[in-house]
Amino acid sequence: MCIDLWFGGLATTTNTTTWAISFVLHNLEVQDKIHQELDRIIGSDRLITTADKNDLPYLNAYINESQRFTNLVPLNVPHPTSRDTVINCYSIPKGTGVVAQISTVMNDE
Ligand code: HEM
């Protein structure tokens, strides 16, 4: 279980953080808006906590967009189909292992 959490949580979190910081370094206008929101909601007298999440819509949107743009998890983990399915003329019986390609959604204009 510890290995699962390690593999599931490490690259996803560090890649999110690394790319999100990299993007703000190249988008000073966005960086300024995040800063303004943090100044307004958090101020400088305390640390940010998860309880602040709902009050920081711009920062949340920024993190979501960073994850979409970096294509953070291009391939999902395998799941079995719950019923017989037909996709593009291909017949996929119930119980077949399938992997959703998340990038097709993230890059769908
Ligand atoms: C930005 C951070 C993360 C992203 C983008 C992410 C993404 C994902 C995705 C796409 C799945 C597959 C969901 C599905 O079943 O279709 C998943 C599952 C999982 N993630 Fe994460 N994850 C993140 C952080 C973490 C962290 C921090 C941990 C552990 C501390 C973790 C542990 C797991 C585990 C154990 C599963 C399998 C859950 C199951 O058994 O169904 N993830 N994650």
**b (16+ CB within 10 A) / e for 37-61:** bbeeebeeeeeeeeeeeeebeebee
Determine the distance separating the centroid of ligand 1 and the alpha carbon of 72, expressed in angstroms: 12
Nearest to 20 by CA among 9, 7, 30, 5: 30
Atom index in ligand 1 nearest the CA of residue 4 equals 35
Q: Could you identify the atom of ligand 1 that is nearest to the CA of residue 72?
A: 5
- What are the sequence ranges of the domains in the chain? 1-72, 73-109
Instruction: Specify the pTM.
Output: 0.85
Q: Mean pLDDT across the stretch 72-89?
A: 92
5 lines ligand 1 (CB under 6 A): yes
- Helices 28-41 and 57-70 sit at what angle, rounded to 10 degrees? 140
Length of the chain (residues): 109
Q: How far is CA 1 from CA 6, 13, 99, in A?
A: 9, 18, 22
| Higher pLDDT among residues 38 and 109, named by residue | 38
- pLDDT tens for 24-75 read 999 999 999 999 999 999 999 999 999 999 999 999 999 999 999 998 888 8
* CB atoms closer than 10 angstroms to residue 84: 11
